[in-house]
Amino acid sequence: MKELIFSSEHFGFVLSIFIFLLSIQIKVKFKSELLNPLLLSTIIIVAILVLFRIPYKEYQKGADLLSYFLTPATVCLAIPLYKQISLLKNNFKAVFFSVLLGTLTSLGSILFLGLLFRLESEHIFTLLPKSITTAIGIGVSEASGGYVNLTVAAIVITGILGSILSDLIFRILPIRHPIAKGLALGTGSHAIGTAKALEYGEVEGAMSSLAIVLAGIFTVIFVPIITAVFF
């Protein structure tokens, strides 16, 4: 076990898990939305790599193991949805069209701003999947010709911002209905937003889980259409 933990091949994996758990404890202690565990752990890990001059490739050897858990973790989000299946049946039309419009708004805003600022088509393709889960976003970016690494960064940043700003946005608008909160977080901030939705309640978490799936499907359908029509 000791050899496993301190092996250079597993260094990144062990470091990532330890720092993330530490970040969760920090957020729980200080109770601040700005201390998002994913954001905080990212900052700490970057600081450690820079401070101790650890090559990123050395860290990545173990950190890549986390990628294998990404898809199973996303699939597990179906559990709270299954528990609220009757709620879904009673509100299916509202759920369907809410996520559809949210997805179109996300794609449309990226396309509009990209064309407005005359970004290269590859950069627009990179940003189009920013609001869907990484497991799907990577495939969409690759298929359309985007830069996958930047797509992942955009997805993570989008999720973190959605999680941090959700309380403020829900108060300002105001949005109080649990279904609306869940759909907003899942459509706009994918899995990271769903983690935040689960903090609000089981209904919010279930609706956010559903929104991840629908938003992913809609994005896969509409990105090729956007590519064909505008590029």
pLDDT tens for 27-45 read: 889 888 888 888 899 899 9
Report whether pLDDT(111) > 90: yes
Report whether pLDDT(108) > 50: yes
What integer pLDDT is reported at residue 55 of this predicted model? 87
For residues 12-22, average pLDDT: 89
* Cβ-contact 186, 212 below 8 angstroms: yes
d(CA 145, CA 160): 25
For residues 100-121, average pLDDT: 96
Report whether pLDDT(132) > 70: yes
Report whether pLDDT(3) > 70: no
Q: What is the pLDDT of residues 162-211, one digit of tens each?
A: 999 999 999 999 999 999 999 999 999 998 999 899 999 989 999 999 99
Report whether pLDDT(59) > 80: yes
What integer pLDDT is reported at residue 11 of this predicted model? 80
Report whether pLDDT(146) > 80: yes
Question: With the C-alpha atoms ordered 76, 82, 83, 87, is the resulting torsion angle positive or negative?
Answer: positive
Tell me which amino acid residue 224 is: P
